[in-house]
Homo-oligomer: A and B are copies of this chain.
Amino acid sequence: MNRWYLKIEYDGRNYVGWQRQENGPSIQQSLERAIENFSNERIIVQGAGRTDAGVHALGQVAHFDLKKDFSADTVRDAINAHLRPQLISILVAQKVSDKFHARFSAIERSYLYRILNRRSPPTLESGSVWHVKRPLNAGAMHEAAQILVGEHDFTTFRATMCQAKTPVKTINSLSVFTDKDQIIFKVSAPSFLHHQIRNFVGSLRLVGEGKWQLTDLKRALAARDRTEGGETAPAGGLFLTDVTYPPDAIGAA
């Protein structure tokens, strides 16, 4: 049995999300179909993190097992060939130890969120930015974002349907900066609550507009009440960029 690590990029626009669902095509299902068609083996793909409908990935990670033996180039190219014309692309395929688990071995997930902050609507980036017309103060947003770093009860920023056992999570880092006409959020944590980043962005937007001061964000966090937080930012601005593993986890099998 060979366990395979995959690093995957996708445009989440036409999918119900990472996870297999009855109401439409998922990334997971598309991958499984492509791998089964190429290998003629029944397999299950296990992802590092579930992304919601419309959320993109530049570095999702998954694993699966094959009985037959193939070279890494063959696995990557054959899955990519079977995925066409879908906008899902295997960046890396690598044989790993059967102790490697895409979800349970991961020690950190990193995401990017992009706001297009200008008056004029997006064109080429339509569906991959949140269009916010009112000018935002990225410096104030970055300063406020530091309130959210560290271990907190994040009930205020947790989707009501979130199934996590506890609302307590640890944000390793959260930075906000401008890049031309965009405002970029970079956030890393061992794991996140459902909609946590999109709810962070919705609240930090209020800070950027000057509607909220630092004390408002502190009060919202302390309230442990979703109704005290800002809106949920749209899915299209969110990208899963990296999943981190301990140094020895992805060694050759």
Q: Residues of A at under 8 Å CB distance from B?
A: 9-11, 56, 58, 76-77, 80, 83-84, 87-91, 118-124, 126, 128
Contact = CB atoms under 8 A, between A and B. Distances in A.
Pick the 5 closest A-B CB pairs, nearest first.
A87-B123, A89-B120, A11-B123, A11-B124, A89-B123
19 contacts: A9-B123, A10-B123, A11-B124, A56-B123, A58-B124, A76-B119, A76-B120, A77-B119, A80-B121, A83-B121, A84-B121, A87-B122, A87-B123, A87-B124, A87-B126, A89-B120, A89-B123, A91-B120, A124-B128
Given A77-B119, A87-B126, A89-B123, 19 more contacts: A9-B120, A9-B124, A11-B123, A11-B124, A11-B126, A56-B124, A58-B124, A76-B119, A76-B120, A80-B120, A80-B121, A83-B121, A84-B121, A87-B123, A87-B124, A88-B123, A89-B120, A89-B122, A90-B120
A169 B124 CA distance: 30
Copies of the chain in the assembly: 2
Nearest to A122: B89
Contacts of A121: 80, 83-84, 89
